[in-house]
């Protein structure tokens, strides 16, 4: 790994045009803007329906300065495979192929194609921005919606099932690089994408992406809430490189430290208002057990 990227040496080349249709304070806008800097201009994007489809612009104007193929919901990773196949056939293999999908497009309808592409070892980066529900259609539950969260399809008592652990599912394919990231830590995301670019085969990056409209908070807190998810130990930043799992960045700094109570994260968002004290206490216990194991394994 080369030196960590800082604000000062991060490229000023902007690949996303302003005046796009993303909501004010959109977490995706942050990760997309920084993520494209990391991918660079020699990249072809593949995008299924999601908020990104709207952010990217309505015909005939595109907010993105990279070539991009919009594809059907279930087909993202297969379409990336097709772009790769054509590039290979034409000897244009130096061009990077990146798929960029939401959590529904990754964990639910897109998982078959993603699993297939991972198994075939396609040389691409798959980026999932996880805002934990179907936001573009108006906040319906998805496979990655956390337990207890109110959505328009879990309207009163919240989602009863747990969040699907997509990075672990993808890691089980035995691919060389899986990482998690957060919109609140864009430089960590940048470095992970840059690292992924140096590796062969499928690379998967899962980004926790706060959504003011869907989560029910003032847009000014997008970054703050992203940080709280990490600081409470609910959402961990890690990478699995050649089968080696390690905490990174802000999560790594939490090892052996006192974490913020999960309650403080839940209190910032309307979507958690159905959680009972008992449920919150159960979640706190789960997080504590997880972190006890991290502390024992990775602490000094």
Partner 1 sequence: MKKEKFGCRISHSEPGPGDGGRTGSWRVKRPVIDLEKCIPAKTKKAACFTCWLFCPDGVITKTIPPTIDYEYCKGCEICAQECPVGAITMVEETVFITEEK
Partner 2 sequence: MHIIESGNVAAANGVKLANVKVIAAYPITPQTPLTEKLSEFVDAGEMDAQYIPVESEHSALSVCIAASSTGSRAFTATSANGLLYMNEQLHWAAGARLPIVMCVVNRGIGSPWTVWNDHQDAISQRDTGWIQLYCCDHQQIIDTVIQAFYLAETVSVPVMVCYDGYILSHTYMPFEIPKQADVDKFLPSFKPEYALNPNQPANLNTVTLPDVRPDVRGDMAPGYMEIRHNLHADMRDAIDVVGDIDKKFNQIFGRGENPYIETYRCDAAEFVAVCLGSLSYHLRDVVDILREEGIPVGVAGLRLYRPFPDQAIRDMLADLKGVIVFEKALSYGNQGALFADIKAALYSSKNRPKVHNYILGLGGREIKTAHLVDALRNSCVDTDKVGDTPVWIGLKM
- Residues at the site binding partner 1, with contacts judged by CB under 8 A: 7-8, 10, 12, 14, 16-27, 29-30, 33-34, 57-65, 186-187, 212, 218-224
Q: Which is nearer to partner 2, 99 or 275 (CB)?
A: 99
**Residue 43 touches which member of partner 1, partner 2, none, C-beta under 5-8 Å by kind:** partner 2
Q: Mask: binding to partner 2, 104-143, rule CB under 8 A, as x and -?
A: --------xx-xx--xx-----------------------
Across 68-193, the runs of DSSP E, i.e. the strands, are 68-70, 96-102, 125-130, 177-182
- The SS3 of residue 238 is strand
**Residue 29 touches which member of partner 1, partner 2, none, C-beta under 5-8 Å by kind:** partner 1
Our finding on whether 95 is near partner 2 (CB under 8 A) is: yes
CA distance 20 to 56: 7
b/e 50-64 (16+ beta carbons within 10 angstroms → b) = bbbbbbbbeeeeebb
Q: Which is nearer to partner 2, 24 or 86 (CB)?
A: 86
Nearest to 51 by CA among 184, 188, 211, 194: 211
Q: Which is nearer to partner 2, 98 or 230 (CB)?
A: 98
Angle, helix 111-120 to helix 76-89, in steps of 10 degrees: 40
- Least CB distance to partner 2 at residue 8 (A): 27
CA distance 203 to 223: 25
Spatial neighbors of 27 by CB under 8 A, at least 6 apart, are 129, 131, 183, 209, 210, 211, 212, 222, 226
Please give the helix or strand (H or E) that residue 204 lies within, else none.
strand 203-208
Q: Which of 28, 34, 51, 71 binds partner 2 (CB under 8 A)?
A: 71
Q: Which is nearer to partner 2, 81 or 107 (CB)?
A: 81
Candidate segments 6-14, 81-89, 191-199, 249-257, binder of partner 2 by CB under 8 A: 81-89
Our finding on whether 44 is near partner 2 (CB under 8 A) is: yes
Our finding on whether 66 is near partner 2 (CB under 8 A) is: yes
- Least CB distance to partner 1 at residue 131 (A): 13
Our finding on whether 172 is near partner 2 (CB under 8 A) is: no
Angle, helix 27-39 to helix 222-231, in steps of 10 degrees: 80
């Amino acid at each position: 790994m080369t030196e960590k990227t800082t604000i000062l040496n991060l490229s000023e080349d902007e690949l996303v045009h302003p005046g796009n249709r993303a909501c004010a304070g959109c977490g995706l806008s942050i990760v997309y803007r920084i993520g494209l800097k990391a991918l660079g201009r020699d990249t072809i994007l593949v995008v299924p329906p999601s908020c990104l489809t709207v952010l990217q612009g309505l015909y005939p104007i595109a907010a993105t300065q990279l070539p991009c193929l919009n594809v059907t919901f279930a087909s993202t990773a297969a379409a990336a495979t097709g772009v790769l196949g054509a590039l290979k056939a034409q000897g244009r293999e130096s061009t990077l192929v990146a798929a960029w999908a939401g959590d529904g497009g990754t964990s639910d309808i897109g998982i078959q194609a993603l699993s297939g592409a991972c198994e075939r070892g396609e040389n691409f980066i798959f980026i999932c921005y996880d805002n934990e529900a179907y936001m573009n259609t108006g906040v319906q539950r998805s496979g990655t919606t956390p337990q207890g969260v109110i959505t328009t399809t879990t309207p009163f008592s919240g989602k009863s099932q747990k969040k699907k652990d997509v990075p672990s599912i993808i890691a089980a394919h035995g691919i060389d690089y899986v990482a998690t990231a957060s919109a609140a830590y864009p430089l960590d995301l940048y470095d992970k994408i840059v690292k992924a670019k140096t590796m062969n085969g499928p690379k998967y990056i899962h980004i926790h992406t706060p959504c003011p409209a869907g989560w029910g908070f003032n847009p000014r807190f997008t970054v703050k809430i992203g940080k709280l998810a990490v600081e409470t130990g609910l959402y961990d930043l890690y990478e699995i490189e050649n089968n080696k799992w390690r905490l990174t960045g802000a999560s790594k700094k939490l090892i052996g430290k006192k974490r913020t109570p999960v309650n403080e994260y839940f209190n910032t968002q309307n979507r958690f208002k159905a959680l009972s004290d008992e449920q919150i206490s159960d979640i706190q216990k789960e997080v504590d057990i997880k972190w006890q194991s991290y502390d024992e394994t990775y602490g000094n």
